Amino acid sequence: MYDDVAGLRFTLEEDGFERFEIACSHEESSVRSFLLGKAGIEEALVLRTCQRYEIYLHGSEAKDVLKGLGQKIGVDVSPDSDRLFVGDAVVEHLLRVACGLESGVLGEDEILGQLRGAYKRASDADALGGTLDTIALKALRVGERARTETRINEGRVSLGSVTLDRAREKLPELEGVDELEDAAVLVVGAGEVAQLVVKSLAHRIPVDDSDGDASLTVANRTLSNAEELAEVAGGDAIALEELSDDHLSTADLVVTATGAEDRVLSIADLVGHELVVFDLANPRDVDPAVDDLEDVELVTIEEVLSVRNDGLERREAAIPAVEGIIAEERGRLAEQLRAEEVDDTLSQIYSRAHERREAEFERALDRLDAESEELTPEQEAAIRDFSEALVNKLLHPKTTALRQAAATDDRETVEAWLTLFDRTVDEIAVDDVRENTESARDESTSEADAETR
């Protein structure tokens, strides 16, 4: 049923930065247009996030086109790989993506919004409208069900989110800081964990937010990395060697996450300051003795991970329920697509049958007119209604049986009925051609006879 649907995925984690950037180096609209221009491609959907890049195609050449694209970029698209999806695997994967089961942060909500945006852009560009459109809409539906009917998105499981949640609880203990939005934040480090914190901060406090007094400074050994990260949340950057007592004096929240082997902040650095400090490094960036300072609240990576793991356990416990929803909706999707496939064929059959009926009806009227048996409009309407009802009643039992076979996935019966219908339609078409030819020949003969006379 899905043999002409295929998908290809790239991830930052598996492909590395360079190859991932190559894969998604072109504008989404350009990629869609390029792929739709390929022979045998009917629909295209492109999903891009900061960690994931996926392309879905529908058409007779969908698999081969994506296989060639994957080979060109340099990823394994062999049958043993899990990069190239075909048929049922496409549906399973896209539904799991929509539910957050394939995300780096299990059950995250952001992916559903990203998929919804990708769908809208493709739809607006007339890149959808068939089987892939139906699958994408089902994925959005499943993603919504997963989040409303299970606990897959409950609790915080990102280190960045958990850190800021805990900071929100701790900051009111400081004088003059009621909310996270009011805090001056100092992040030491620019690695993966520091990025999670800053990105989470950017989501909670927009760069253009002018209501609060929040500020951000990122300190890192490599200044260019600090500048790049600070830009995410509209902050400032300094080299780690420039970090001074003045920066600590103006800060309310300090988050350290470097890969340094030695301490980055000692008790001497922090004494006399009123701060909430999160040490998310391993080994630790902050001297444990800081915890004895009266005005400094020290939170370690172990405490943050404990909260994160509690949330993660709740989400992991919800996975079977989400997979149950996926299985249920996959069954419904299969029924829907089988019905659509049959209905499209039946629509053509009914249309062709009624074209033939109308032709025969008009031919009968012509004969009656020739015999001076002109009908009243009421009589003509009654005969037309009768002819329409007769055709529909003759086709109804067969179409009912066909729909029932499709609903139970009885492919053998479906194919038999469709073959029978197709043969009947072909015979009708041949008859039409024969009758039109004979009619034209009769008219030609009549004209010749008239000229002879």
Q: What's the pLDDT at 439?
A: 54
Cis-peptide into 283, omega within 30 deg: yes
121-141 average pLDDT score: 96
Flag whether pLDDT at 427 surpasses 90. no
419-444 average pLDDT score: 56
Please tell me the distance from the alpha carbon of residue 447 to that of residue 453, in angstroms, as a whole number. 10
Same domain, 130 and 170: no
Flag whether pLDDT at 148 surpasses 90. yes
Same domain, 303 and 171: yes
Chain-centroid distance of CA 252 in Å reads: 39
398-407 average pLDDT score: 75
Q: What's the pLDDT at 189?
A: 95
Q: Over the Cα atoms of the chain, what is R_g?
A: 34
Q: Would you say residue 300 lies in a domain?
A: yes
Q: What's the pLDDT at 423?
A: 61
Same domain, 286 and 172: yes
Q: What's the pLDDT at 368?
A: 82
Last residue of a domain, one of 154, 184, 199: 154
Q: What's the pLDDT at 428?
A: 53
Q: Would you say residue 233 lies in a domain?
A: yes
Mean pLDDT of the chain: 86
Same domain, 187 and 289: yes
- For the ranges 98-112, 277-291, 327-341, 412-426, which has the lowest average pLDDT? 412-426
- For the ranges 160-164, 274-278, 342-346, which has the lowest average pLDDT? 342-346
Q: Would you say residue 335 lies in a domain?
A: no
302-314 average pLDDT score: 89
53-78 average pLDDT score: 94
Q: What's the pLDDT at 217?
A: 95
Q: What's the pLDDT at 341?
A: 73
- Determine if the pTM surpasses 0.85: no
Closest C-alpha among 394, 390, 368 to residue 380: 368
Same domain, 286 and 351: no
Closest C-alpha among 209, 295, 206 to residue 254: 295
Please tell me the distance from the alpha carbon of residue 182 to that of residue 176, in angstroms, as a whole number. 9
Q: What's the pLDDT at 45?
A: 98
Q: Would you say residue 337 lies in a domain?
A: no
Q: Would you say residue 132 lies in a domain?
A: yes
User: What CATH number is associated with residue 32?
Assistant: 3.30.460.30
**E strand map for 202-258:** 215-220, 236-239, 253-256
* Run of H or E including 273: none
What is the CB neighbour count within 10 angstroms for residue 73? 17
Flag whether pLDDT at 442 surpasses 80. no
Cis-peptide into 377, omega within 30 deg: no
Closest C-alpha among 80, 102, 105, 104 to residue 93: 102
Strand order, beta sheet including 253-256: 236-239, 215-220, 184-188, 253-256, 275-279, 296-300
Same domain, 63 and 143: yes
Same domain, 192 and 207: yes
Q: Would you say residue 429 lies in a domain?
A: yes
Distances (CA, A) of 272 to 241, 294, 446: 21, 9, 116
Same domain, 69 and 171: no
150-157 average pLDDT score: 88
What is the CB neighbour count within 10 angstroms for residue 148? 8
189-194 average pLDDT score: 93
Flag whether pLDDT at 83 surpasses 80. yes
User: What CATH number is associated with residue 255?
Assistant: 3.40.50.720
Could you report the per-residue pLDDT of 209-256, keeping only the tens digit for each? 444 455 899 999 999 999 999 998 999 999 999 999 999 999 999 999
Same domain, 72 and 201: no
Flag whether pLDDT at 412 surpasses 70. yes
Q: Would you say residue 333 lies in a domain?
A: no
Q: What's the pLDDT at 210?
A: 43
Last residue of a domain, one of 154, 174, 194: 154
Same domain, 119 and 167: no
Same domain, 373 and 434: yes
Please give the positions annotated as active site.
Answer: 50
Q: What's the pLDDT at 377?
A: 87
Structural domain including 40 reads: 5-154
* 270: confidence class by pLDDT, cuts 50, 70, 90: very high
Last residue of a domain, one of 288, 309, 330: 309
Q: Would you say residue 330 lies in a domain?
A: no
Flag whether pLDDT at 441 surpasses 60. no
Same domain, 176 and 112: no
Flag whether pLDDT at 363 surpasses 50. yes
* Count of domains observed in the chain: 3
Q: Which two tokens stand for residue 348?
A: 């053509």
**E strand map for 123-240:** 184-188, 215-220, 236-239
